[in-house]
Structure 1
Amino acid sequence: MSLTHAGAAEVVVPVLVRDLTSADLPACAWSGSTTHLAQVARELERAAAGEVDYLAVCTPAGLPVAIGGVDYQVAVGAGTLWQLGVLPALQSCGLGTVLIRAAEDRIRSRGLFRAELGVEESNPRARALYERLGYVAYGREPDAWDVEAPDGSLRRYETMCTLMRKDLS
């Protein structure tokens, strides 16, 4: 631990990247609604089948503080990153970078050399991160998914995404 000039403490905590498991899901409530976590649980079934990787960046206590997937079924010759998220209180601490680099390593380990993703145009912070990591925009497309309202009902969320890719060779 070190003290900054203002007297605030800086603590460095090691993290581990591993596969997300169904046992982790209760600790991932920060990442979305129960509907979202049910979708993540379905994606873990796809991970067991080898169609996707779903990663967790974890604290020494094993708690996921960043999660995200790589889908190998979306684009031929590429891994598509999706459902990337970092515990809100720990955003801008480098965990997203750790998660994305680990996802890129997984893509390379499958003999693929391109990563792709879509970023909502209303999320410039995420896009800036991807650009810092070498992703380049190549198009746009609409996207939509169901979100859970506070009353438990579902509504359709529609957005426009910038498509980005990175050569991993």
Structure 2
Amino acid sequence: MAEVGPPLSVRDLTDEDLAWCSWAGTRLHLRQVALELERARRGEVDYLAVCPPSGVPVAIGGVDYQLSPGAGTLWQLSVHPAVRSRGIGTLLIRSAERRILARGSHRAELSVEESNPRARALYERLGYVGCGRQPEAWDAEGPDGVVRRYATMCTLMRKALR
């Protein structure tokens, strides 16, 4: 049974929101999100925020329209740990899919770390199907503040949108 909570809205993430998003990642990650907001201003990506009436984001995530021709690629999806398993991730993904359709594309893609079966189960419940594997890597800031290269194996997933 889903929990009933305050009404949620989905809007574009703003630079001002980043101060409230420390739960989504390290300072390095949030600097990268700030760069993605520049791309959003140029129309290359959408970056969404799910918010309760307070306006403070409880979930964020992006859609990149340049990675795969004819598709929107979902990435950097994150829900505040205190409100997971309440349908907020589903709301974020469905909203991203509507953005993709509004741009005239009919396919959503994403990659999920193979070490994250909970996220993969969500994507599968929402109709995403595995279509391959690939290694991915990015710079990540550790708890000690040192930046290291993080490498992982990901499952590629896609969904036809109607």
TM-score bracket relative to the smaller structure: over 0.9
CA displacement at 1:11 relative to structure 2: 4.5
1:90-114 Cα offsets, whole Å, 9 max, x none, are 1111000000000000000000000
Question: Are residue 36 (structure 1) and residue 29 (structure 2) matched?
Answer: yes
Q: Under a length normalisation based on structure 2, what TM-score does the superposition of the two structures give?
A: 0.97
Aligned amino acid, residue 114 of structure 2: E
1:6-55 Cα offsets, whole Å, 9 max, x none, are xxxx6521001000000000100000000000000000000000000000
Structure 1 residue runs without a partner (length 5+):
1-9
CA displacement at 1:153 relative to structure 2: 1.4
Question: Are residue 59 (structure 1) and residue 39 (structure 2) matched?
Answer: no
1:42-101 Cα offsets, whole Å, 9 max, x none, are 000000000000000001000100000000000000000000000001111100000000
1:143-168 Cα offsets, whole Å, 9 max, x none, are 01111122221011110000000000
The 1-side partners of 2:141 and 2:21 are apart by: 16
Aligned residues, how many? 160
Question: Are residue 151 (structure 1) and residue 144 (structure 2) matched?
Answer: yes
Match of 1:109 among 102, 105, 109: 102
SS of the aligned residue for 1:111 comes to coil
Aligned residues: CA RMSD? 0.8
Percentage of pairs with the same residue = 70
Match of 2:74 among 53, 62, 81: 81
In our comparison, the structure showing a higher alpha carbon Rg is 1
SS of the aligned residue for 2:7 comes to coil
The 2-side partners of 1:62 and 1:43 are apart by: 20
The 2-side partners of 1:67 and 1:116 are apart by: 17
